[in-house]
Amino acid sequence: MDKVRITVGSGGKKTQYFINNEIISRFSNEKLNILADGAHIDNNMVITTDSFTVYPPFFDGGDIGMLSVCGMINDLASMGAEPKFMTMSLIIEEGFPFIDLKNILDSMKKITDKHNIQLVAGDTKVVEKGKLDGIIINVTGIGYRYRDIFLPAKEYKVGDKVILTGPVGEHSVAVLKSRGIVEFDGEIISDVAPLWDPVRKLIDANVRVKFIRDVTRGGLSAVLNEFAFFSKTKIEIYEDEIPINEKVLSICDIYGFDIYSLACEGRLVIVVDSEDVENTLYLLSQNDLTRDSKIIGRIIELSKPLVIMNTQYGGKIIMDMPSGEILPRIC
Amino acid sequence: MDKVRITVGSGGKKTQYFINNEIISRFSNEKLNILADGAHIDNNMVITTDSFTVYPPFFDGGDIGMLSVCGMINDLASMGAEPKFMTMSLIIEEGFPFIDLKNILDSMKKITDKHNIQLVAGDTKVVEKGKLDGIIINVTGIGYRYRDIFLPAKEYKVGDKVILTGPVGEHSVAVLKSRGIVEFDGEIISDVAPLWDPVRKLIDANVRVKFIRDVTRGGLSAVLNEFAFFSKTKIEIYEDEIPINEKVLSICDIYGFDIYSLACEGRLVIVVDSEDVENTLYLLSQNDLTRDSKIIGRIIELSKPLVIMNTQYGGKIIMDMPSGEILPRIC
């Protein structure tokens, strides 16, 4: 591999390979090697970083500003941390419409205000026209562990339930439509949303949450494989139970996309102790952002990491980490 | 202003205007409004963020990887904070040579190792060929206040001395040469360097350091104006005392650059109590990276912010914040 390919940033197998061979191998330390959505930098504080390159910067249901703040909040929520501070680095192409930039900043402010997140440091770079395509935003978030929860947890049991908080793929399809790559009648709205509130509700209710991850690049397949890998468990997924937006599914069928590899920006995979699953579903159903939550699987063995899917057609298949070319700049 | 112009990212007047009118006005809070090189997020912890877009990514004396880690260290050092953790977000153009990426990462590792900085979280995005020019790296750094120093300080006195730790402009000229914008015989090496060690030595020696800032975009003029603005003082600069690399100066003369607006990546402006200035110069002279330090000015009035320069030719001029088009992608 002499040149960097798109797949290095896809969130799938090639990304994993790159991270293991070029990042972990060089910068190895116990905080980094956990490979979570962020890192505990001391007893109470969690940090996460992401650069957002979504194109176009505005799409049905959101924009790059909203996406960047939601992505940060969801990464912290996945660590059980309450968002508190953020930094923002803007990288802008010369000639980018100022009104778009203002709208993007307004959109960020709306969500930071709602969550009492303080922007504390930033940076602005402008790159010559033609040397960048629009705008890139990096957001680094700092959160505090909430009620001493430490996620991802270390202990897993056979029977722990895997929950998905809503249908997958809407964000990807909304962006691809705005980019002119897919066409269809009607509207699909990106699922982009900040998910700290529903997570906090679970922690407040003493639900034994063991693992949370937001479904982003690499889609549901990637998150489930990351969970199996992290927890060293075999999990079984019931395809029939996966919440699906029928319109998204039919677009996937027409264009040949794998719906389980499509990025979301407002869905979580949550693993809870089986005794707490009813309460979890009840609490999630109370929030508009997670009201379509369903149990989609469970841990079946504490053994070699593996994701097995019971397909709609009755057979079992291995649900692998996505490995092909996935469309770039969805997030 | 309907489109974002290069000057918004130049570090000069237009950047200040943008930050005040679009960032501070929206996201105002006491931590952000200090407008330092980073923010104190709690009693002990300091955070800073920067995206590096330098082009080309390799230049005489350094590369974008080294630059990104040094920039982060120097921003923390400017707050009196010891660097401890960092996040790294890579944004790479499809087709970027893998060997270059490895060299950039090696270069980052060399400096993080030397300073015991742990990389704790990261992100990798790959953008389609032609939609980005090479590579952009965002680094967010977390440091801890060192020996209870809080910088920038709040109290200033007439007579406080302004020190510059070495000649200015070498980094800019080295990058512009690598980009083919300037040509000359011989070599000018970028000044890029991590400056926590000399800063720590000053703090260890109980020097009353009041203000430190690394000279980056906007050059010496910008930093001196930022200092005057922050401290609400009038300062006098002696042009004759400013350390100059004669070769850089002659290139500036030929190409019409203002040497005092050129970015460095390894020079600090340090303001100290006049009683400590000899000890400060002695300590700085002991480190190769700061051995050419000189007193270049002093606070002459506690009044309206202003930078007065006593020119080489005897007259006094106002040294203003740079406002013109400054070449982009120097850092």
3-state secondary structure chain A: CCECCHHHHCCCHHHHHHHHHHHHHHHCCHHHHCCCCCEECCCCEEEEEEEECCCCCEECCEEHHHHHHHHHHHHHHHCCEEEEEEEEEEEEECCCEHHHHHHHHHHHHHHHHHCCCEEEEEEEEEECCCCECCEEEEEEEEEEECCCCCCCCCCCCCCCEEEECCCCCHHHHHHHHHCCCCCCCCCCCCCCCCCHHHHHHHHHCCCCEEEEEECCCCHHHHHHHHHHHHHCCEEEEEHHHCCCCHHHHHHHHHHCCCHHHCCCCCCEEEEECHHHHHHHHHHHHCCHHHCCCEEEEEEEECCCCEEEEECCCCCEEECCCCCCCCCCCCC
Residues 117-136 of A with CB under 8 A from B: 118-128, 131-133, 136
User: Distance from B6 to chain A by nearest Cα, in Å?
Assistant: 5
A79/B contact by beta carbon, under 8 A: no
A96/B contact by beta carbon, under 8 A: yes
A94/B contact by beta carbon, under 8 A: yes
A46/B contact by beta carbon, under 8 A: no
List chain B residues with pLDDT less than 70: 1, 325-326
Please state, in angstroms and rounded to a whole number, the distance separating the CA atoms of residues A262 and A259: 5
Interface touch A39/B85, C-beta < 8 Å: yes
Confidence at residue A1, expressed as pLDDT on a 0 to 100 scale: 61
A327/B contact by beta carbon, under 8 A: no
Interface touch B121/A38, C-beta < 8 Å: yes
B154/A contact by beta carbon, under 8 A: no
Q: What digits encode the pLDDT tens for the residues B45-97?
A: 999 999 999 999 999 999 999 999 999 999 999 999 999 999 999 999 999 99
Mutate to test the interface with A, among B7, B103, B131 (most CBs of A within 10 A): B131
Please state, in angstroms and rounded to a whole number, the distance separating the CA atoms of residues B321 and B260: 10
CATH architecture classification, A36-148: 2-Layer Sandwich (3.30)
Closest among A198, A228, A201, A212 to A289, alpha carbons compared: A198
List chain A residues with pLDDT less than 50: none
Least CB–CB distance from A127: residue in B49, B53, B126: B53
pTM of the model: 0.96
B106/A contact by beta carbon, under 8 A: yes
A100/B contact by beta carbon, under 8 A: no
3-class state of residue B186 by DSSP:
coil
Task: Give the pair of three-digit tokens for residue B25.
Answer: 């006005």
Please state, in angstroms and rounded to a whole number, the distance separating the CA atoms of residues A234 and B168: 60
CATH architecture classification, B161-318: Alpha-Beta Complex (3.90)
Q: How many CB atoms lie within 10 A of CB B119?
A: 24
Least CB–CB distance from A32: residue in B10, B98, B118: B118
Strands (E), chain B: 39-40, 45-52, 58-59, 62-63, 81-93, 118-127, 135-145, 161-164, 209-214, 234-238, 268-272, 294-301, 306-310, 316-318
Interface touch A124/B8, C-beta < 8 Å: yes
Q: At what angle do helices A170-178 and A246-255 cross, to 10 degrees?
A: 60
Interface touch B41/A85, C-beta < 8 Å: yes
Please state, in angstroms and rounded to a whole number, the distance separating the CA atoms of residues B296 and B290: 14
Task: Give the pair of three-digit tokens for residue B185.
Answer: 């015989």
Mutate to test the interface with A, among B40, B87, B93 (most CBs of A within 10 A): B87
Residues 6+ apart with CB under 8 A from A151: A36, A78, A79, A80, A209, A210, A211, A212
B26/A contact by beta carbon, under 8 A: yes
Contact list, A89 vs chain B (CB under 8 Å):
49-51, 138
Residue of B nearest to A75 (CA): B121
Contact list, B138 vs chain A (CB under 8 Å):
49, 51, 89, 138, 140
Confidence at residue A35, expressed as pLDDT on a 0 to 100 scale: 82
CA A300 to chain centre: 24
Residue of A nearest to B123 (CA): A50
Please state, in angstroms and rounded to a whole number, the distance separating the CA atoms of residues A98 and B14: 14
Confidence at residue A278, expressed as pLDDT on a 0 to 100 scale: 98
Confidence at residue A325, expressed as pLDDT on a 0 to 100 scale: 66
What is the distance between the terminal CA atoms of chain B, rounded to a whole angstrom? 25
Confidence at residue A90, expressed as pLDDT on a 0 to 100 scale: 97
Give the position of tokens 């010369």: A94
Q: What digits encode the pLDDT tens for the residues A309-321?
A: 999 999 999 999 9
Confidence at residue A303, expressed as pLDDT on a 0 to 100 scale: 86
Please state, in angstroms and rounded to a whole number, the distance separating the CA atoms of residues B79 and B87: 18
Which residue ranges does chain A devote to CATH 3.30.1330.10?
Answer: 36-148
Least CB–CB distance from A3: residue in B23, B95, B109: B95
Interface touch B101/A4, C-beta < 8 Å: yes
Residues 6+ apart with CB under 8 A from A154: none
Which residue ranges does chain B devote to CATH 3.90.650.10?
Answer: 161-318
CA separation, residue B214 to residues A283, B9, B77, B191, B323 (Å): 50, 17, 9, 12, 19
What letter represents residue A158's amino acid? V
| Strand B161-164 with B294-301, pairing | antiparallel
